[in-house]
Structure 1
Amino acid sequence: MAFRYYTATTLDGYLADDHDSLDWLLTQPLEDGGAMNYDDFFAGIGTAVMGYTTYQWLLDNEMADGKPWPYEIPSFVFTHRTITPVADSITVLDGDPTAHRDLLTEAAAGKDVWVVGGGDLAAQFAEAGMLDDMIVSIAPVTLGSGRPLFPRRYDLALQEFGRNGAFLCARYSLVGARKPLAEV
């Protein structure tokens, strides 16, 4: 069982633009069954964890036109806001990830926990020692600004890489927080 951050990013390190749009992502070609593809990844996932912005994006985009919540697995939304979950499989949590480690592990039922996003939540999991790896599909697009992939200083170790359509896909393990040069 592992805590895994699986996401896509632009070449300059953004998950979404300043208006939370993913149009840059949705226009890129992918290969069915290609390197580090979603279907293979999701087959090993027992629960999903996300922040409020990701949750709201799913409501606004994936559930448009009356579609149901996209995940049947237990889903957890970390937020300080008061929200009403749109599905019985959603639980709202607040606070540090370590306070909820046992709950998330139990909900995953022996499978992995997917830290869906955003980048700040993934960084909170890393700081709590609860992020085993990052699987990132890097699109050949730059945005110049937006929602950052991982807004903390961390050293990573490349474990594997491949190509899927237009994407360079890479899996990294986390080495640890990176100290500023002045502290080294």
Structure 2
Amino acid sequence: MTRAIFYTASTVNGFLADPDDALDWLLAIPQDEATADIAAFTERVGVLVEGASTYEWVRGHEDLMEHPERWQQFYGDRPTFVFTRRERERVPGADIRFVQGSVIEHWPDIVSAAAGKDVWIVGGGDLVGQFVDADLLDEIVITFAPVTLAAGKPLLPRDLDHTRLELVGVRRAGPFAELTYRLPRAARDA
């Protein structure tokens, strides 16, 4: 069964990015131990989903218009759905599908593109919140970095209490702490 997983990094005080959507705070930390399991995770992933701000940051930060091969190094050949409200410039050679509207409207196409594998919701927090609202999010994997920011983009701008989040994993990866939460399917299976 295809699962929707929000796999992300956050500051200790719950920000995904700084106020300008940048991740410089994260990239300044040595990543060796923290990223050791990303290859195993991405092997289970058939499709990626991200918001326009995440897409624009990655495209700019990695200079993907000049070096489109960098897209393949990280995302591979996996289709990527980018939720946006306006036209975006496509990275040459990448399977990027710009969509508008609700996540529930596009969910059948996302599942089909995943071809039996998981869906990685890359970010941002508001898009993940839309998956929560549509009762489509199955798991949250958060790697907390030893950083705080005074302001920024929130991890998940939704209210979820202990009845919706089941802690299923805790791991230390160098200076990072990784927590894995499952969102029980009772509401979806009823």
Q: Same fold (TM over 0.5)?
A: yes
Deviation at residue 83 of structure 1 after TM alignment = 1.9
Partner of 1:154, secondary structure, is coil
Match of 2:170 in 1: 161
Aligned equivalents of 2:158, 2:91: Cα separation in 1: 31
Answer whether contact 1:35 1:162 (CA < 8 A) is retained: no
Q: Which runs of 4+ in 1 moved over 3 A?
A: none
- Please list, as runs of the form range in 1=range in 2, the aligned pairs for 1:30-49 lying within 5 A after superposition: 30-32=31-33, 37-49=37-49
- Please list, as runs of the form range in 1=range in 2, the aligned pairs for 1:45-60 lying within 5 A after superposition: 45-60=45-60
Aligned equivalents of 1:169, 1:29: Cα separation in 2: 15
Answer whether contact 2:145 2:175 (CA < 8 A) is retained: yes
The answer to which of 64-73 and 54-63 deviates more is 64-73
Deviation at residue 63 of structure 1 after TM alignment = 2.9
**What amino acid is the match of 1:120?**
D
Residues 21-80 of structure 1: CA distance to partner in whole angstroms, max 9, x if unpaired?
A: 211111223345x68721111111000000000000011012357221342210010011
Aligned equivalents of 1:91, 1:100: Cα separation in 2: 11
Residues 104-154 of structure 1: CA distance to partner in whole angstroms, max 9, x if unpaired?
A: 001001110000000000010111111100000001110021011101111
Match of 1:91 in 2: 97
Aligned equivalents of 2:158, 2:88: Cα separation in 1: 27
Answer whether contact 2:65 2:91 (CA < 8 A) is retained: no
- Please list, as runs of the form range in 1=range in 2, the aligned pairs for 1:137-176 lying within 5 A after superposition: 137-155=143-161, 156-174=165-183
Deviation at residue 9 of structure 1 after TM alignment = 0.1
RMSD over aligned CA atoms reads: 1.9
- Any stretches of 5+ residues in structure 1 without a counterpart? 177-184
TM-score under structure 1 length normalisation: 0.88
- Please list, as runs of the form range in 1=range in 2, the aligned pairs for 1:1-184 lying within 5 A after superposition: 1-32=2-33, 37-64=37-64, 66-68=66-68, 69-70=71-72, 71=75, 72-87=77-92, 88-155=94-161, 156-174=165-183
Aligned equivalents of 2:124, 2:36: Cα separation in 1: 19
Aligned equivalents of 1:168, 1:126: Cα separation in 2: 23
The answer to which of 61-70 and 148-157 deviates more is 61-70
- Any stretches of 5+ residues in structure 2 without a counterpart? 186-190
**What amino acid is the match of 2:27?**
L
Aligned equivalents of 2:97, 2:181: Cα separation in 1: 29
TM-score under structure 2 length normalisation: 0.86
Classify 1:22/1:35 alpha carbon distance in 2 versus 1 (closer, same or farther; 3 Å): closer
Aligned equivalents of 2:139, 2:46: Cα separation in 1: 16
